[in-house]
Amino acid sequence: MSQFTNLTITKARELLDDGEVSAVELTSHYLKEIDSKNKELNAFLSVHAEKALASAKGADIKIKNDQASYLTGIPLAIKDNILVKDELCTAGSKILENYKASYNATVIERLNRESAVILGKTNLDEFAMGSSTENSAYGVTKNPNDISRVPGGSSGGSAAVVAADLCLGALGTDTGGSIRQPASFCGIVGLKPTYGAVSRFGAVALGSSLDQIGPMAKTVKDVAIIYETISGHDPLDSTTVPNNSKLLDRVEEINIADLRIGIPKEYFEAKGLNSEVKEMVMKAVSWFESQGATIKEISLPHTEYALAAYYIIQPAECSANLARYDGIRYGRRADAKDLLDTYLKSKGQFLGAETQRRIMIGTYALSSGYYDAYYSQAQKVRTLVKKDFMEAFEDVDVIFTPTSPSTAFKIGEKTADPLEMYAADIFTVTANLAGVCGLSLNCGKINGLPVGLQILGPWFGENLLFKVGEFYEQLR
């Protein structure tokens, strides 16, 4: 059905409201596409066909009665570490293979309130630990642009289903780049919101001071639509804050000639940055300059320490959060002779190598005698990284960087070297350490593989990111 090819949420909303297509027809189309394509891509772990069609029928009634909102009847996918009541939530791990959620995450409640249609749950690196979706206990997801390559991670399944036209949008989580990097690899748009902008209640915790749920879609406007629905204060998550509108006036007034864009030299001089990726991103910068924007080289001097600090803080928080999966309180239990044996065998049998690695690193960093040497020092670096951004945003409105140092790499190319895999997060972890918002959008292709432009904004500057991103999408 050609009318559904490369369909966006915005266009689908028009078709639904004009009566040219029903929500049931739209949902049925995507369910057929999933049935046809998912076996090759391995992007959906579960499909909720009956519930999706029932939701679509309810959405059609709302549309008929002029009660529809932007997302009414819109088919979406959900990363499989976000709870959907009565559905499996594996977090990509064998230890949660049979776990069914007993309640909805707050973001799901907000989507349900708008009568969005949830098609199913998408694949991810186990417990969201990875940059390629190769760490899933349920197999590797493939990049729709080239099935010999990874889709990025850890929200690789969500990125792949959007890029492959299996839904109109998706939710992912971003702890160190896990929305933005797969968005870059798959050629779509992904947003990591400001820490505290979107409730984490009902998301399987990895790094509690770093995690954020965010939207992925084909266009900046579509991402903004999903974000508006899921964001805002939640009494069930004490880290959330009321919607912050202090930047709205500035955003309404700003045009492209008013923009002050910061180019951090540490990112563009980074070891490992592919020269063609750098050139492609600089073309985007030059385009903004040609439209009248002011380009200013800035310095984020503590960037070189950010990746090392992140890979102490995140495993430490992971170690604490994953302690609950012990075969007693949560998850599958191995046959064992006593309590200690239960702990050892359950985690040994049902947790993957990367998850075990990070738990061990985190436990070591938090242990007596090493806490001050590692975890405490990493938190001090984090403070300095945040200070760098605070000073930078006094001089510029937004910061442009590559999203990833390379395009999508081959499946299996980096699995033998964890440090090389960690380096894929070099341009994204700083936003999580500082808590700022970041948007990745496509700025071109190299040999058919998408390249991501990352736009970083100040705290609660999402609307500014959307406006800048739409300038680029629409005017270019």
Pairing of strands 212-217, 437-446: unpaired
Q: Model confidence over 213-240: pLDDT tens digits?
A: 999 999 999 999 999 999 999 999 999 9
What predicted TM-score, i.e. pTM, was given to this entire model?
Answer: 0.96
Q: For residue 448, give the 3-state DSSP assignment.
A: coil
Going by C-alpha positions, the residue among 169, 185, 262 that lies closest to residue 221 is 169
For the chain, domains (ranges, CATH) are 2-230 (3.90.1300.10), 250-302+383-475 (3.90.1300.10), 306-366 (no CATH)
Active site (annotated) includes residue 46: no
CA–CA distance, 251 with 97 (Å, rounded to integer): 45
Q: Strand 260-264 and strand 398-402: pairing?
A: parallel
Q: Of residues 22, 93, 178, 406, which has the active-site annotation?
A: 178
From residue 446, give the alpha-carbon distance in Å to each of 187, 274, 455: 11, 11, 20
Tokens standing for 397? 């409105």
Nearest to 405 by CA among 385, 421, 384: 421
Catalytic residue among 46, 55, 154, 319: 154
Output the CA torsion sign for 245, 247, 249, 251: negative
Taking the C-alpha atoms of residue 245 and residue 398, their distance in angstroms, rounded to an integer, is 17
Average of pLDDT values for 127-134? 97
pLDDT per position as a tens digit, 235-290: 999 999 876 654 555 566 678 898 999 999 999 999 899 999 999 999 999 999 99
**Is 11 in the active site?**
no
- pLDDT at residue 288, rounded to an integer: 97
Strand partners, 449: 446
- In this predicted structure, the answer to whether residue 150 has a pLDDT above a threshold of 90 is yes
Spot the catalytic one: 79, 121, 347, 467.
79
427-457 residue pLDDT tens: 999 999 999 999 999 999 999 999 999 999 9
pLDDT category at 370 given cuts 50, 70, 90 is: very high
- Residue-level pLDDT at 326: 83
Residue 2 appears among annotated catalytic residues: no
Report how far residue 180's alpha carbon sits from residue 197's, in angstroms, rounded to the nearest whole number.
Answer: 17
Q: Mean per-residue pLDDT for 141-163? A: 98
